[in-house]
C-alpha cells in the first residue's frame, strides 16, 4: 500500500504493515491528537498519533535502508522477517497511548507511562498480538518495544526508541509543520547513521576529519526540538488547558472511576464524552468542561521562573510540590486564602527539563563518544542547549480569569506556603 503523507510524501507500506494498520487498536490512534490541547493555541495542531506512527515507520525504514546500503553486517546478516519486525515496532511504538497521554502520565502522573510492560501485554493479547504471532514476530516486536526486556540488537531498539530515533525525526518535522512554525531539517542527516560497536551512532567523521556539515545539521534539528518545546509544548495556554483536562480526569477517576483499561479503548472524543456524562452529576467537571469548550482557560495567577529560585530550591520544589497529596493540600490552602472554590485552583509544577540527546552516540575522530563529549565546539553547543532547557522550568498557580488579580495580590504568602511545603512535602 502507498499512503500520501503531508510530511514525508509517499509512504510505502509492506503487506505486513498494512495488515497491522487495519487492526482496531491501530485505527484508534486516528482519534488521539498528537499534541493534546495544543490546537487551542495553534489551530492547525489536529494531527494525530495515527499519522505520526506512519511517519515513524517510514523514517525507521529509511534509516535501515541507509545502513543496508552502507554494508552494515548487522543488517546484511539479518533475515527479512526480523528487519520487517524492527519497522513494525516503529509503527507500533505509540499503540499503547491513551488520550492526552503525556498530560495524564508524564505531567500529572495519574496513570503509568504508555510504554509500561503491562499495557503492552494488554494490547498484544488482542488482535494485533494474534496478527504478529501469525507473522512470526510477536516475541521479537514485544521485546524490542518493552525497555525492561533484554533484546539482542541494541541498534534496532535505538532506531525505534533511542535518544535520537525515528520517533524524534518524525515528530519534530510534523509538529512544526502543523503548528505553522517554519523550520525544517535536511533529510540527508538520516543517511549519516552507522552501527558502531553494535549500537546506533551518528557519523561525524570522514577520512579521519570532522564533518562540520553533519554536526551543524544535527544541531539544527536539535534546535528545532528546543523551539518546539519552548513555543509549543510548554506554551502557558497549552499547559493551562492540559491541566484542566487532567483535573477533570482526576475527578472522574475518584468518582465514577475512569480506568486505564477504559482509556486504552478510547480516543479524545470518547474521553471527553465520558467526562460530559460525568459532568451531569458532578458540577466541578461540568463547569470545567464548559470552560474548556469555550476556551475559557485558567490563567497564571502566580508565576515562578528559574531565576526566582536558587538551584537547590528548585530541586526541592520539584521533588516536593509534584507529589500529588502535597499539591492537593496546597491547592485547598490557596483556595481558602483567595476565597474561591477548591475546584478553581490548579498548582502546576513542571518537572526538570533535560536534553536527553546529550547522550546520543557519535563516531568522532577519537572513537565513539556521547554527543556531550564529541569535541570542544560540540560540547559548547551542547552546554548552551542544556542551559536553555533548564531555563524552561516553570511553576504556575492557575486560576479562572476572574480570580487572577486576587491571586497575584497574594503572591508572597503563596510563595512562602509553597516553599514551606517543599521543605516537608509529606507533612
Q: How far apart are CA 427 and CA 27, in angstroms?
A: 46
The confidence score (pLDDT) of residue 82 equals 93
Q: How far apart are CA 345 and CA 399, in angstroms?
A: 5
Residues 6+ apart with CB under 8 A from 293: none
**Which is nearest to 13 in space by CA: 46, 45, 49, 60?**
60
Torsion sign across C-alpha atoms 8, 10, 12, 13:
positive
Per-residue pLDDT of the chain (427 residues; tens, 9 = 90+): 999 999 999 999 999 999 999 999 999 999 999 999 999 999 999 999 999 999 999 999 999 999 999 999 999 989 999 999 999 999 999 999 999 999 999 888 888 877 778 899 999 999 999 999 999 999 999 999 999 999 999 999 999 999 999 999 999 999 999 999 999 999 999 999 999 999 999 999 988 888 999 999 999 999 999 999 999 999 999 999 999 999 999 999 886 678 999 999 999 999 999 999 999 999 999 999 999 999 999 999 999 999 999 999 999 999 999 988 999 999 999 999 999 999 999 999 999 888 889 999 999 999 999 998 988 788 899 999 999 999 999 999 999 999 999 999 999 999 999 999 998 745 4
Q: String of b and e for 63-90 (b: at least 16 CB within 10 Å)? A: bbebbeeeebebbeebeeebbbbbbbbb
CA atoms lying within 13 Å on the CB side of residue 2? 4
The confidence score (pLDDT) of residue 111 equals 86
**Three cell numbers, residue 227:** 523551539
**Three cell numbers, residue 324:** 500529588
Per DSSP bridges, beta strands 346-349 and 395-399 are antiparallel
Q: How far apart are CA 289 and CA 297, in angstroms?
A: 10
Q: What is the pTM of this model?
A: 0.95
Residues facing 2 on adjacent strands? 12
C-alpha pair distances (Å), 62 with each of 51, 215, 370, 419: 17, 20, 23, 50
Amino acid at each position: 500500500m502507498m499512503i500520501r503523507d503531508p510530511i514525508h510524501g509517499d509512504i510505502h507500506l509492506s503487506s505486513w504493515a498494512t495488515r497491522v494498520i487495519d487492526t482496531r487498536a491501530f485505527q484508534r490512534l486516528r482519534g488521539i491528537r498528537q499534541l493534546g490541547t495544543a490546537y487551542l493555541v495553534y489551530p492547525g495542531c489536529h494531527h494525530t498519533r495515527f499519522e505520526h506512527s506512519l511517519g515513524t515507520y517510514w523514517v525507521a525504514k529509511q534509516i535501515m535502508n541507509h545502513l543496508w546500503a552502507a554494508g552494515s553486517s548487522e543488517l546484511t546478516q539479518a533475515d527479512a522477517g526480523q528487519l520487517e519486525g524492527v519497522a513494525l515496532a516503529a509503527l507500533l511504538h505509540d499503540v499503547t497511548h491513551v488520550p492526552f497521554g503525556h498530560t495524564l502520565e508524564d505531567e500529572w502522573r495519574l496513570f503509568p507511562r504508555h510504554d509500561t510492560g503491562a499495557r503492552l501485554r494488554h494490547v498484544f493479547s488482542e488482535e494485533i498480538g494474534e496478527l504478529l504471532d501469525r507473522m512470526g514476530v510477536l516475541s521479537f516486536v514485544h521485546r524490542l518495544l518493552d525497555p525492561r526486556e533484554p533484546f539482542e540488537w541494541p541498534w534496532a531498539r535505538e532506531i525505534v526508541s533511542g535518544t535520537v530515533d525515528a520517533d524524534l525525526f518524525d515528530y519534530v518535522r510534523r509538529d512544526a509543520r502543523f503548528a505553522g512554525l517554519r523550520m525544517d531539517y535536511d533529510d540527508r542527516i538520516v543517511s549519516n547513521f552507522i552501527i558502531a560497536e553494535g549500537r546506533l551512532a551518528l557519523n561525524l567523521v570522514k577520512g579521519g576529519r570532522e564533518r562540520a556539515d553533519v554536526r551543524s545539521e544535527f544541531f539544527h534539528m536539535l534546535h528545532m526540538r528546543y523551539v518546539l518545546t519552548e513555543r509549543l509544548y510548554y506554551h502557558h495556554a497549552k499547559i493551562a488547558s492540559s491541566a484542566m483536562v487532567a483535573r477533570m480526569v482526576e475527578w472522574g477517576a475518584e468518582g465514577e472511576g475512569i480506568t486505564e483499561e477504559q482509556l486504552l479503548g478510547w480516543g479524545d472524543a470518547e474521553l471527553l464524552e465520558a467526562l460530559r456524562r460525568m459532568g451531569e452529576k458532578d458540577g466541578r467537571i461540568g463547569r470545567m468542561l464548559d470552560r474548556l469548550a469555550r476556551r475559557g482557560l485558567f490563567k497564571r495567577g502566580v508565576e515562578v521562573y528559574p531565576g526566582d529560585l536558587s538551584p537547590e530550591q528548585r530541586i526541592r520544589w520539584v521533588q516536593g510540590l509534584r507529589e500529588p497529596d502535597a499539591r492537593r493540600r496546597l491547592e485547598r490552602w490557596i483556595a481558602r486564602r483567595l476565597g474561591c472554590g477548591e475546584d478553581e485552583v490548579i498548582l502546576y509544577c513542571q518537572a526538570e527539563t533535560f536534553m536527553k540527546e546529550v547522550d546520543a552516540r557519535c563516531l568522532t575522530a577519537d572513537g565513539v563518544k556521547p554527543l556531550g563529549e564529541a569535541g570542544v565546539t560540540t560540547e559548547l553547543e551542547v552546554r548552551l542547549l542544556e542551559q536553555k532547557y533548564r531555563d524552561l522550568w516553570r511553576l504556575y498557580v492557575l486560576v479562572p480569569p476572574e480570580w487572577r488579580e486576587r491571586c497575584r495580590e497574594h503572591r508572597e504568602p503563596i510563595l512562602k506556603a509553597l516553599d514551606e511545603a517543599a521543605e516537608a512535602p509529606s507533612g
